[in-house]
Chains A and B, each alone.
Chain A
Amino acid sequence: KNQVEQSPQSLIILEGKNCTLQCNYTVSPFSNLRWYKQDTGRGPVSLTIMTFSENTKSNGRYTATLDADTKQSSLHITASQLSDSASYICVVTPRRGTYKYIFGTGTRLKVLA
C-alpha cells in the first residue's frame, strides 16, 4: 500500500469550474507536505508547501489544506483554466533526517473549454 494515496486518479471539468483533489497519507511523523503541478512531458513544479503545523496555504487560484489529525490534504482549484490541465502530485517528506520525498501517483486533471 502506497504511503501517499491520491484521488481521484483522473478528473474532467469545464473551464471556469472549481475542483478539489484529495491526498491521504500514512507517513508519520512528517515534516512537510507539498503539492506539485506536472504538465505532460515536463518536470514537476512546486505549487504549495505546508509544515505539519499549518492548515492552509494559497498560491493564486490554488489553495491547499492540511488536516494532520486525519492525515488528509486537499488541493482546491478555483475558476479553472485550460492551462490547469496537468497532473497534480502530493508529496510528503518524513521528519528531518531522512532526506526523502515520498510521492503520490497523482491526479490527472483535464479542463475542457
Chain B
Amino acid sequence: EAQVTQNPRYLITVTGKKLTVTCSQNMNHEYMSWYRQDPGLGLRQIYYSMNVEVTDKGDVPEGYKVSRKEKRNFPLILESPSPNQTSLYFCASRLQPSETYEQYFGPGTRLTVT
C-alpha cells in the first residue's frame, strides 16, 4: 500500500532531551516536507526537501533540523526541544517538487514537551 509513515505517533518528552521523528514513504517521491499544526493556525511548513541531499527551510524552521540521505526517509530532529514545540507534526510527500502534484500526508505525530 502506498503510504507515508511516521514514528512515533505520540511522544511526551522533557525540555532539552534530543529527539527524532522518523518519516518514510514508499512511493518513490522526490519531494518531502514537514509541517506543524497548532490550534487556530493552518499547517505551517518547517523544512522541505526536493531530492536526496537537498533540503531547505520552510516558514518556521527555528529549533528543527532535517536530513535526506535516502530518497524514502526524511527524519525531523529536535536537538533541544522546548515547550513551544508542543504540536502535531505531519510529514508529507509528492512525486515532484512542483506544487501541481498531489501531496500525501502521514498520520501525524503528537509531541508534548514538558
Contact = CB atoms under 8 A, between A and B. Distances in A.
Sorted nearest first, the 3 A-B pairs with minimum C-beta distance are A43-B105, A103-B42, A93-B99
A92 to B, nearest CB: 10
State the main secondary structure of chain B at its contact with A.
loop
A53 to B, nearest CB: 13
Interface of B: 4, 31, 40-45, 48, 50, 90, 92, 97-100, 102-103, 105-108, 110
B85 to A, nearest CB: 19
Interface stretch (A63-71, A73-81, A94-102): A94-102
Interface of A: 2, 4, 31-32, 41-46, 49, 89, 93-94, 96, 98-106
Given A44-B43, A99-B50, 12 more contacts: A31-B100, A32-B99, A32-B100, A42-B108, A43-B106, A44-B90, A44-B105, A96-B100, A98-B99, A101-B43, A101-B99, A104-B42
A106 B88 CA distance: 15
A31 B98 CA distance: 10
A104 B98 CA distance: 20
Contact of A96 (B43, B44, B98, B106): B98
Contacts of B107: 42-43
B87 to A, nearest CB: 13
A75 to B, nearest CB: 16
Nearest to A104: B42
Given A2-B42, A43-B4, A99 B99 contact: yes
A90 to B, nearest CB: 9
A102 to B, nearest CB: 8
Contacts of B98: 96, 99
